[in-house]
Structure 1
């Protein structure tokens, strides 16, 4: 699939076999796509002045988000792997063309697609606010509305750190993001942004590339902080439990990006290589890379606040599909439910499919439930290491022994959940 991603001022609106993507504007036609229609005004209103290459990185991320939504996996030869050719308008095309192989490698790992990137001049520059604001915070944290980022933000605030928290606007989570930011630490500075990616129908929903826009938003804002302007390296906290970050294939059929890789250490290492090449002084930190979700809950520094806010958090991969309720049976829901059991606190979350052990296709027979069950059986029959296989074999992964132990503990948490509900 070919895409031309550039501001509306650049011509070439109609090219055979090319999807025109209008960056920082409206599509203007049902056969075109768009992204970033509101983000320039949002950054300007906040008074922020980001690093030039951080702004270009946002253009790249938005282009990738459009491609991920517009490219239908059902149309690929194997029903999954797609091939993309992207032309993206940026302000420094020479630099980005030199960095294109690193970006392509990172995206290939993230989505298991083939990416070919070419950068052209004419990209939109960052907005120039009437009065530049340099926020005093010395770090940024991603706050999604999920349980892990909630715990991470509570821990940072309890330790005396006051991060500037960044959220991607998502239907069903926007209000809880605002509430969490208002409540934690007596109130944290909070910025919500949206890529507003719009593509012609039909739309692919696998969303394997989504972490790139979360990171791009966090990096963009990190470069606007006063410490960054003064020459400091600014930490960007990505708080996700290690089990979901690695997301080991539960069965032999769940390989590659069939299991999401949004915070996988291999991807984040490749992404940090890009930041270093761009001389963007932002350090991605993953403080819970060696923790299970249950351990994150048990060890949270403010247990009273966590008990109050945790039930409102979102974990489900199908939250919107079930009218903003947790399905209870997808892998993230199972990990959440297992974590509450490990925490030892009641789980007041309403699950659409509560009785996991019920012997029908909607409960114990559902694919994700069966996959977890098969993983548990595989570790009993062939041992944990045989089940794990080469999930930790990627060259940029460090601390393999610690990660292996964490994955063992995470799978054990899921085993307790399945035992409770009698899943066979």
Structure 2
């Protein structure tokens, strides 16, 4: 699949063999897609002046999001791996063409697709406003509306930090993102963005590339902060528990990107390499890389605040499918429920499928529950290290011994959940 992603001014609107994605503009025709107009408007409204290469990175991320939506995995030869040829307009095509191999490797790991990039001139970075607003904060934290990012932002505020909170608005989570940001540390400066990537075909829903846009939003704002303009390195906090970040394949059928890699340490290391090559002084920090979700909750610095908001956070991988309710049985839901159990705080979240161990016609299709059960059985029968296999074999992964032990404890939390519900 070939995509041409550029602002309207680039022209080439009806090029044969390519899906035209209008960056920072409207599609203008049914056969075209679009992305980014709303982001540009937010930046203009807030009078921010991000770095040019941060804008380029955002253009690349939005183009990837459009491709991820347009490419139908079921139509690929193996039912999963897709091939993309991306032509993207940026402000510095010479640099990005030189860095194309880094992007190919990073996205190949993240999505298990094949990516080819070519960059052209014509990228649209809005002109800085006459009166630029330079936020005084010196760090950024991603605030998704999930339980981990909530707990992490609470910890940062308790430590005396006042990061700018960055959210990617997702239907069902926008209001809680605003509420969380307003309640942490007396209120954090908060920006909500949405790439609004729309394609002229039926959307593929696997969304394996989604973390690149969230990170790019964070980089964009980080490069607009006062400390960045003063020449400092700006921390970008990704507060994700280590177990779900590595997301070890539970069974042999969940290898590769069948288990999502949105915050995998190898992917984040590759993303950091891109930032460094681009001269973007933003450092990704993952303070909970060696913590389980239960450990994050137990050690959160403001327990009353966390307990007040925890049940209202979102963890479910099928949240929209179940009318903005937690299904209770996908892997993220099981990790969430196990964390509450380890935390020792009553979980008042409403789950569509509360009884994990029930086996009847109303509770059929528990594939993820069976997968966790199989992982627990394999770790018990063949040994934990045999079950874990090559999950930590990737280069650039640090603290392997600590990660190994964290994964062992995380699997133990899931085991306690299955015991509680009598899963067999």
* Pairing 1:230-241 to 2, within 5 Å after superposition: 230-241=230-241
CA distance in 2, matches of 1:12, 1:360: 56
**3-state SS in 1 of match to 2:99:** helix
* Pairing 1:347-362 to 2, within 5 Å after superposition: 347-360=347-360
CA distance in 2, matches of 1:381, 1:304: 40
* Pairing 1:313-328 to 2, within 5 Å after superposition: 313-328=313-328
Aligned to 1:391: 391
- The CA deviation at 1:363 is 4.0
1:61 aligns with 2:64: no
* Pairing 1:123-162 to 2, within 5 Å after superposition: 123-162=123-162
* Pairing 1:143-182 to 2, within 5 Å after superposition: 143-182=143-182
CA distance in 1, matches of 2:20, 2:298: 49
TM score, norm. by length of structure 1 = 0.99
**3-state SS in 1 of match to 2:5:** strand
Whether the aligned pair in 2 keeps the contact of 1:43 and 1:127 (CA below 8 Å) is: no
Aligned to 1:330: 330
Comparing 146-155 with 361-370, greater Cα deviation is found at 361-370
In structure 2, list runs of 5 or more residues that go unmatched. none
**3-state SS in 2 of match to 1:119:** strand
- The CA deviation at 1:365 is 4.9
1:4 aligns with 2:18: no
Comparing 130-139 with 79-88, greater Cα deviation is found at 130-139
- The CA deviation at 1:15 is 2.1
- The CA deviation at 1:38 is 1.1
**3-state SS in 2 of match to 1:220:** helix
CA distance in 2, matches of 1:130, 1:122: 23
Whether the aligned pair in 2 keeps the contact of 1:39 and 1:195 (CA below 8 Å) is: yes
Aligned to 2:191: 191
**3-state SS in 1 of match to 2:11:** coil
- The CA deviation at 1:364 is 7.0
For the structure 1 residues 279 and 353, does the alpha-carbon distance in structure 2 shift closer, same or farther, using more than 3 Å as the test?
Answer: same
Number of residues paired by the alignment? 424
Aligned to 2:121: 121
Whether the aligned pair in 2 keeps the contact of 1:158 and 1:301 (CA below 8 Å) is: yes
**3-state SS in 2 of match to 1:38:** helix
Task: Give the aligned CA root-mean-square deviation in angstroms.
Answer: 0.9
- The CA deviation at 1:30 is 1.5
**3-state SS in 1 of match to 2:9:** coil
Aligned to 2:298: 298
CA distance in 1, matches of 2:201, 2:366: 29
Whether the aligned pair in 2 keeps the contact of 1:13 and 1:20 (CA below 8 Å) is: yes
In structure 1, list runs of 5 or more residues that go unmatched. none
Q: For each residue in 1:31-75, what CA deviation from the matched residue of structure 2 results, as whole angstroms up to 9, or x when unmatched?
A: 111100211111011110000100000000000000000000000
- The CA deviation at 1:290 is 0.2
Aligned to 2:375: 375
- The CA deviation at 1:12 is 1.3
1:20 aligns with 2:20: yes
Q: For each residue in 1:137-190, what CA deviation from the matched residue of structure 2 results, as whole angstroms up to 9, or x when unmatched?
A: 010000000000000000000010000110011110000000001101011100
TM score, norm. by length of structure 2 = 0.99
* Pairing 1:170-319 to 2, within 5 Å after superposition: 170-319=170-319
Whether the aligned pair in 2 keeps the contact of 1:316 and 1:330 (CA below 8 Å) is: yes
